[in-house]
Amino acid sequence: MVRVRARSTGPLAEVLAAVASGANTRVEVRRRVDYPDDVVDAALDHLIRTGRVVDQPLTVGCVSSDCGGCPIATRCGQSLPVSTATCQL
Amino acid sequence: MTSQAAAASCHGVAPSIDRDRSKPTIALVGPPNVGKTTLFNALSGSRATAGNWPGTTIDVAHARWRTGAQTAEIIDLPGAFSLDPVSPDEELTRSLLVDVPVDERPAAVVLVVAATRLSTGLYLFAQLREHGLPLVIALTMSDVARRRGALIDLGPLAESLGVEVVAVNPRAGTGVDALAAATGRLLDAPSSARKALAAPGSDPDERFQWAADVVEATVSQADESRPSTTDLVDRWVMSPVVGPLLFLGAMWSVFQATTKLAAPLQELTGSLVSGPLARAMHALLNAVGLGHGWFERFVIDGLIGGIGLLLTFVPLMALMFALLAMLEDSGYLARAAVVADRAMRAIGLPGQAFLPLVIGFGCNVPAISATRVLADARHRAMTALLVPFTSCSARLTVYVLVASMFFPASVGNAVFTMYVASVALVIAIGFALRRTLWRALGEEPMMLDLPPYQVPHLRLIADAAWARLRGFLRTAGGVIVVAVAAVWFLQAVPVHGGHDFGSVPVRESAYAAAAGAVAPVFGPAGFGDWHATGALTAGFVAKEAVVSSWAQTYATQRPTDPHTPGSLAKVVRADFHRSSGGHQSPAAWAFLVFVLAYTPCAATLAAQRREIGWRLAAFGLAVQLVTAWTLAVAVFQVGRWFA
């Protein structure tokens, strides 16, 4: 039988509070929120999907279709593993 | 969307789905990427057909499925995280499950839940149960969850949920029969016999709280206390205290390695350009009858002197780009971006602004375009005004040149100091703008998705470094050639009588006259000399032009001896010594600070005008010039006092 914990706020509220207070990675949010990682991830995904938290991938490609004078503009959209944030470094 | 459906839609408009309404309908529902379609294929075999759902362009596959004693029609509904749709796919799933009249709802719902993301599935389960839909759960990816140390107790889970839970592995085909049997039992059972359980609540947070309670009661984490290697490394790399220090250490190492390793190569390139190349060109021009005239001086002093000096930076740039690409490919720089993001939030800057600002350290022009990622117009404007203070790679050439002339023993430290100063300047100006113009600026919560750590790939490092180096070479071969020609033209025009076009000493040229008119402004900064101010003026076109025009100016002063242009460092130091009253080092620092803070290039101004309008772009220009001059004067005056 599921034992319900008494809490003043739920996972969504706690995750949102953690992000608002500066936790900007999943690892950090998990560290700050006292719920199982699986629950934290699900709550975070829900907040991202509903637009309450912006998800910024630091993976591949340029940030905009208009890369202006970007020296690696021709690489945009290709599989070069250049992070979004640092594609110009 | 199923694979069959995908195949259908790839070949034009798929036909509308034709359902068999004589059989009970079973909906296969679940969030995306939980193995739903793989399960559908395992259940339906090759009997599936696909097509657009009537009235929509969304592909839905359906098939006959034998469940115990009866045959049902199973429909693979589009993936949905919840019944509160945020996409057309989720809209269709919701409408087919709950928005249709009750008698048209599916007879049963098979909810596919990944064991690796139990809470996500439970959230959807909670919503489906709120609508009273008959449910059975197909639990996929149990093996993956087990490998990660998560063990799900199916008995208590089924008891908590009040429905049957069947572990399936559609790839291996295990659990499929058990799922069919469980679904058959659900179809056979009269609705009155189904377990009635209270819904956890209609509020999303209440649903997640309920999911958390279920997870805590039914999942045991085998090695919860043992964090992964990535987590352990990240704990230090992204720590609020150690993280910035590690980042500074990494960047210091990059600049040290770059300047130390590239110095001999730079020297070699320089001697090749000013020696054999200049001599060969001199001989060639003489051979074709173009020697000893203004054209020869343009080629030798202008193109070879100006662009040649710039090209000596190619080994340095290549090395730095390769080292940064290595840090980037390893996954470290993304962590550094997280540290930077935190630092900016701490002083009240919008968190998302870090992205264009970090891009600005490569080139300011795309960084200003990148401000479009910010939704708020005020965020965009503020960030676009800050981008020019990020030290782009073009400014690196000036830093290295000046540092090697004035501080040859510690070029790497000098360059590193300029980058730290750039970060400090961005923070200070951002803080000032926030306290004055944009006091009510809000902040959007943001998450950063980090790539995993990996061993850098040599080919990809070379690829990234070459892509950036090509950009540098393109600038040197394009806009800088134009700048060199313009500077040479101005240096060839006499302002007094007695000289012909092209044979005037540069100190009596239009260039020297114009630069000399500006020079007194920089007297308090210690470099009120027309050579320096002329180079800074050319730097408005692009920062590389500071280097090329400087080389041109000093080379043109020796038009009679193009083979030995002399030591640029020696003559520049002498001029700085003269203009600073003997305090050449503080003057050199002041010059560097001015280069860091004043307008990066004409293209940046154009990008600013395009993104934030000419008024704000003009305001930004004024801020840059005032900041650059004030800081340069402050650095020189304080430095002179200490000296």
- Tens of pLDDT along A35-62? 999 999 999 999 988 888 877 655 433 4
pLDDT band at A65; cut points 50, 70, 90: very low
Query: For residues B437 and B349, is the Cβ–Cβ distance under 8 A?
Result: no
Bigger pLDDT: B498 vs B612: B612
Which of B148-162, B437-451, B477-491, B500-514 has the highest mean predicted lDDT (pLDDT)? B148-162
Cα separation, B407 vs B414, in Å, equals 8
Distance of CA B292 to the CA centre of its chain: 51
Per-residue pLDDT, averaged over B98-109, amounts to 88
Per-residue pLDDT, averaged over B487-494, amounts to 84
CA atoms within a 13 Å half-sphere pointing along the CA-CB vector of B120: 26
Measuring CA to CA, which residue among B82, B152, B65, B86 is closest to residue B114? B152
- Rama region for B232: left / alpha / beta (φ>0; ψ in -120 to 50; rest): alpha
B607/A83 CB distance under 8 A? no
pLDDT band at B574; cut points 50, 70, 90: very high
Distance of CA B397 to the CA centre of its chain: 23
Q: Give pLDDT, residue A20.
A: 83
Per-residue pLDDT, averaged over B91-114, amounts to 90
Chain A: closest CA distance from residue B268 (Å) = 26
Tokens for A77? 């959209």
Q: Give pLDDT, residue A71.
A: 38
Query: For residues B448 and A84, is the Cβ–Cβ distance under 8 A?
Result: no
- Per residue in B235-287, pLDDT (tens digit) is 888 888 898 889 888 888 888 888 788 878 877 887 887 788 888 888 888 88
Chain A: closest CA distance from residue B92 (Å) = 17
Residues 6+ apart with CB under 8 A from B462: B322
Cα separation, B251 vs B63, in Å, equals 59
Interface test with B, best of A1, A19, A39 (most B CBs within 10 A): A39
Question: Could you tell me which chain B residue has the CA closest to the CA of A42?
Answer: B120
One-character DSSP codes across B450-498: PPPP-PPPHHHHHHHHHHHHHHHHHHHHTHHHHHHHHHHHHHHSBSSTT
pLDDT band at B500; cut points 50, 70, 90: confident
B215/A10 CB distance under 8 A? no
Distance of CA B629 to the CA centre of its chain: 31
Tokens 């056979």 belong to B188
Tokens for B242? 């150690």
Q: Picking from B27-41, B198-212, B463-477, which range would have the lowest pLDDT averaged per residue?
A: B463-477
Per-residue pLDDT, averaged over B102-120, amounts to 92
Measuring CA to CA, which residue among B307, B302, B300, B269 is closest to residue B283? B300
In this structure, what are the phi and psi dihedrals at residue A58, rounded to the nearest 5 degrees? -110, 55
Which of B266-270, B300-304, B602-606 has the highest mean predicted lDDT (pLDDT)? B602-606
Q: Which alpha helices (H) appear in B131-276, and where do they start and end?
A: 142-147, 154-161, 176-188, 204-218, 229-237, 242-272
> What are the Cα distances from residue B361, in Å, to A85, B172, B321, B422, B469?
10, 50, 12, 9, 15
Look at residue B466 and tell me whether its pLDDT is greater than 80: yes
Look at residue A67 and tell me whether its pLDDT is greater than 80: no
Tokens for B286? 């003489």
B450/A58 CB distance under 8 A? yes
Strands (E), B267-422: none
Look at residue B381 and tell me whether its pLDDT is greater than 60: yes
Tokens 């550094």 belong to B336
What pTM value is reported for the model? 0.66
Q: Give pLDDT, residue B233.
A: 87
Look at residue B593 and tell me whether its pLDDT is greater than 90: yes
When CB atoms are compared, the residue of A49, A57, A64 closest to B372 is A64
Chain B: closest CA distance from residue A76 (Å) = 11
Q: Picking from B50-54, B130-134, B484-488, which range would have the lowest pLDDT averaged per residue?
A: B50-54
pLDDT band at B392; cut points 50, 70, 90: confident
Tokens 């430095």 belong to B639
Q: Give pLDDT, residue B128.
A: 93
Q: Give pLDDT, residue A76.
A: 40
Percent above pLDDT 70 for chain B: 86
Measuring CA to CA, which residue among B296, B328, B340 is closest to residue B465? B328
Chain B: closest CA distance from residue A50 (Å) = 7
Q: Give pLDDT, residue B445.
A: 66
Q: Which residues in chain B have Cβ-Cβ distances shorter than 8 Å to A89?
A: 324, 328, 333, 358-359, 361-362
B242: burial class by Cβ within 10 Å (0-12, 13-18, 19+)?
Answer: middle
A25/B206 CB distance under 8 A? no
The CA-CA-CA angle for residues B396, B398, B403, to 5°, reads 95
- Per residue in B434-462, pLDDT (tens digit) is 778 776 555 666 677 777 788 888 887 88
- Per residue in B336-369, pLDDT (tens digit) is 777 777 666 665 566 667 667 777 887 787 778 7
A38/B464 CB distance under 8 A? no
Q: Give pLDDT, residue A82.
A: 35
Look at residue B396 and tell me whether its pLDDT is greater than 80: yes
First to last CA, chain B: 73
> What are the Cα distances from residue B483, in Å, to A33, B226, B533, B625?
57, 60, 15, 21
A85/B355 CB distance under 8 A? yes
Cα separation, A76 vs A62, in Å, equals 5
Measuring CA to CA, which residue among B429, B600, B625, B599 is closest to residue B522? B625
The CA-CA-CA angle for residues B159, B163, B167, to 5°, reads 90
Touching check for A59 and chain B: CB below 8 Å? yes
Interhelix angle B229-237/B242-272, nearest 10 degrees:
80
Query: For residues B97 and B181, is the Cβ–Cβ distance under 8 A?
Result: no
In this structure, what are the phi and psi dihedrals at residue B167, rounded to the nearest 5 degrees? -80, 125
In this structure, what are the phi and psi dihedrals at residue B139, rounded to the nearest 5 degrees? -95, 110
SS3 (DSSP) at B113: strand
Q: Which residues in chain A have Cβ-Cβ distances shorter than 8 Å to B543?
A: none
B160/A1 CB distance under 8 A? yes
- Per residue in B7-35, pLDDT (tens digit) is 333 333 344 455 566 788 999 999 988 88
Average pLDDT, chain B: 82
